[in-house]
């Protein structure tokens, strides 16, 4: 997936979000990106929605490290780096659009759901991923997918974003 395909996918997701959350309910939407690469993706989709209807949707950042299910299981490696969670708005009664780059086992999303619930009681949580590479280990499914990418377990999927990596690209590598 190159830069052009990526921006088209995100624009399509922006339209899908508006379609699905349209209607008289008037519920507020808010993005929460999962660190690291979920955050810039969320910002891009928010910008795409602003271009469509002029509405500004808030974007928060969530670090799920302290909620991981594998944290204390192997005391051999140094602890993963904890980064700051920044959700400067109440998530109560909002429709939260949770954003990550790659959906794989589903464990990151499980952790993110637990973390979000500690912040309040959203009306709904919808999941957006740029790439779904399959191999789920938990019953989790994305609501919006940029691209379904069938992979083997021996491969690794890397999303590069210009904000962080200097280029837009999805790369599959044999690991």
Q: How far apart are CA 118 and CA 112, in angstroms?
A: 10
Q: How far apart are CA 160 and CA 147, in angstroms?
A: 15
Confirm or reject binding of residue 60 to another protein (CB under 8 A): no
Decide if 132 contacts 148 (C-beta within 8 A): yes
Copy the structure tokens of residue 8.
């088209």
Q: Which is nearer to another protein, 21 or 85 (CB)?
A: 85
Q: Which is nearer to another protein, 32 or 131 (CB)?
A: 32
Rounded to a whole number, what is the largest CA-CA distance in the chain?
Answer: 53
Confirm or reject binding of residue 22 to another protein (CB under 8 A): no
Q: Which is nearer to another protein, 73 or 173 (CB)?
A: 73
Which residues face 60 on adjacent strands?
Answer: 32
Judged by CB under 8 A, the residue of 37, 41, 63, 146 near another protein is 63
Judged by CB under 8 A, the residue of 114, 137, 155, 171 near another protein is 114
In the complex, least distance from residue 52 CB atom to another protein, rounded to whole angstroms: 32
* Best CA proximity match to 160, nearest among 109, 101, 100: 101
Binding site for another protein (CB under 8 A): 63, 66-67, 71-72, 75-79, 81-86, 114-115, 118-120
């Amino acid at each position: 997936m190159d830069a052009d395909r990526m921006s088209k996918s995100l624009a399509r997701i922006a339209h899908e979000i508006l379609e699905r959350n349209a209607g008289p309910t008037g519920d507020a939407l808010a993005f929460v990106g999962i660190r690291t690469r979920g955050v810039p993706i969320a910002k891009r989709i928010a910008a795409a929605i602003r271009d469509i209807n002029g509405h500004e949707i808030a974007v928060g950042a969530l670090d799920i490290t302290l909620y991981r299910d594998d944290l204390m299981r192997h005391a051999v490696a140094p602890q993963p780096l904890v980064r700051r969670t920044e959700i400067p708005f109440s998530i109560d009664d909002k429709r939260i659009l949770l954003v990550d780059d790659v959906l794989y086992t589903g464990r990151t999303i499980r952790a993110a759901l637990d973390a979000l619930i500690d912040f309040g009681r959203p009306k709904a949580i919808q999941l957006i991923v740029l790439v779904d590479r399959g191999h789920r280990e938990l019953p989790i499914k994305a609501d919006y997918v940029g691209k379904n990418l069938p992979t083997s377990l021996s491969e690794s999927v890397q999303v590069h974003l210009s904000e962080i990596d200097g280029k837009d690209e999805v790369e599959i590598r044999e690991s």
